[in-house]
Amino acid sequence: MQGRKWPCRHVVASFALLWLLATPCSGAAQQDANACGPFGDAPADLVEAKTPYCLGATRLGPWKDSNGSNRYACLYEPGARASAGPLPLLIYLHPSLFGTTTIRLTNLLHYQDSLPIGGQRGFIVLEPAGRKTTHYYPFPDQKGIGWDNWYRQLNPAGDVKIHGTTYKENVDAAAIDHFVAEVIAAERIDTKRIYVTGWSNGAAMAYLYALNRPNIAAAAVYSAPDPFGALDDPCPQKPVAHPARDDAEVQIFNPRLPSMHIHSNCDALGLCPNCELLTSQLQSMGMSVDDITVNSLGRQVSGCMRACGTDPMGDAHLGSNPLGWTLGLANHSSWPLTWTRTMLDFLRDHPLK
């Protein structure tokens, strides 16, 4: 794989500056471990449900989730070069803080018209929009636009009752479900080829969502904090393919999911070992995971850079992990442009069986 130069974009530079000026501290949604339940943490506190920008796309919505919040999604349709038959659907989940406009910092849309990731040339892109909520991330990402991957009630059946208590479905997962169903009903979708990708917090949610939706054929994500436990999360859980034995486990419902996870050997806040933890958790269940570690030039390397942190939960302390707040943050803030084709080829090779 050829090396690359990371793009210098104003939004990425602003993101890096904001983090570099921050003092590490615990996430805003602090919670005692005794409050942990069968689905990990309690649902995130809503700050605001914003209307997203959908540059060059059709905005879908509003649709009200079970909390009464208006939800939206951006729909990017391919141009005239795409085939006329049923096309694959690629769901892109944006990172926290910066929302739907981040798809323009990737080159996913560059391939949309011409690349066949199914039997036909081209694919449709659906970009659901997250909400502004509390997070278990260090400042300044204690709250912001993003996804609640800490409340892990993603049962495909919807709400569930355990010991007399009803646990509502994760509202972000329900919103994604709604817009996927809306696009399938209105578009020419190849339902054997519904794929998920995402970036950072969006990658964590993409993994969590795909692992619980049997209609998702495959996932290929960039730099996902482990959705089952990372950084300040007080309620980490072990994913299992069987009914959970206690609150330390959480059942997933799509254990045959093929996945690709690309991440940096020096990632923001020491996340590389945390990415490796996620891979080991999934592989221990017999799942197929293509775990690809790259350096700052985008070249594949053999493992994590120990100088950027060794804690499997991540290391968000500036004093002990300065590289994680400098080089790691710069790496994390740039989409791996030269790996996008590899990610899309992986999805193409894994239709729903």
pLDDT tens column, 244-298: 999 999 999 999 999 999 999 999 999 999 999 999 999 999 999 999 999 999 9
Lowest mean pLDDT among 1-5, 59-63, 260-264, 339-343: 1-5
Q: Is residue 5 part of a domain?
A: no
Q: Looking at residue 152, which CATH number applies to its domain? A: 3.40.50.1820
Residue 245 phi, psi (nearest 5): -85, -30
Task: Quickly state the pLDDT bin for 4 (edges 50, 70, 90).
Answer: very low
CB 61 within 8 A of CB 73: yes
Beta carbons within 8 Å of 119's beta carbon, 6+ residues apart: 85, 86, 190
Q: Is residue 72 part of a domain?
A: yes
Where b means 16+ CB within 10 Å and e means fewer, 115-152 reads bbbbebbbbbbbbbbbbbbbbbbbbebbbbbbbbbbbb
Res. 63: pLDDT tops 70: yes
Output the six-digit token pair for 162: 């355990």
Residue 140 phi, psi (nearest 5): -95, 15
Q: Each residue of 98-111: pLDDT tens digit?
A: 899 999 999 999 99
Domain that holds residue 146: 10-348
Average pLDDT over residues 198-204: 97
Res. 335: pLDDT tops 90: yes
CB 184 within 8 A of CB 191: yes
Q: Is residue 250 part of a domain?
A: yes
pLDDT at 210: 98
pLDDT at 28: 42
Task: Quickly state the pLDDT bin for 29 (edges 50, 70, 90).
Answer: very low
Output the six-digit token pair for 167: 């646990």
Q: Is residue 3 part of a domain?
A: no
Beta carbons within 8 Å of 305's beta carbon, 6+ residues apart: 265, 266, 272, 323
Residue 88 phi, psi (nearest 5): -65, 155
pLDDT at 24: 41
CA distance 150 to 154: 11
Between 187 and 166, residue with greater pLDDT:
166
Q: Is residue 2 part of a domain?
A: no
CA distance 65 to 272: 34
Task: Please count the structural domains in the chain.
Answer: 1
Of the chain, the percentage scoring pLDDT greater than 70 comes to 90
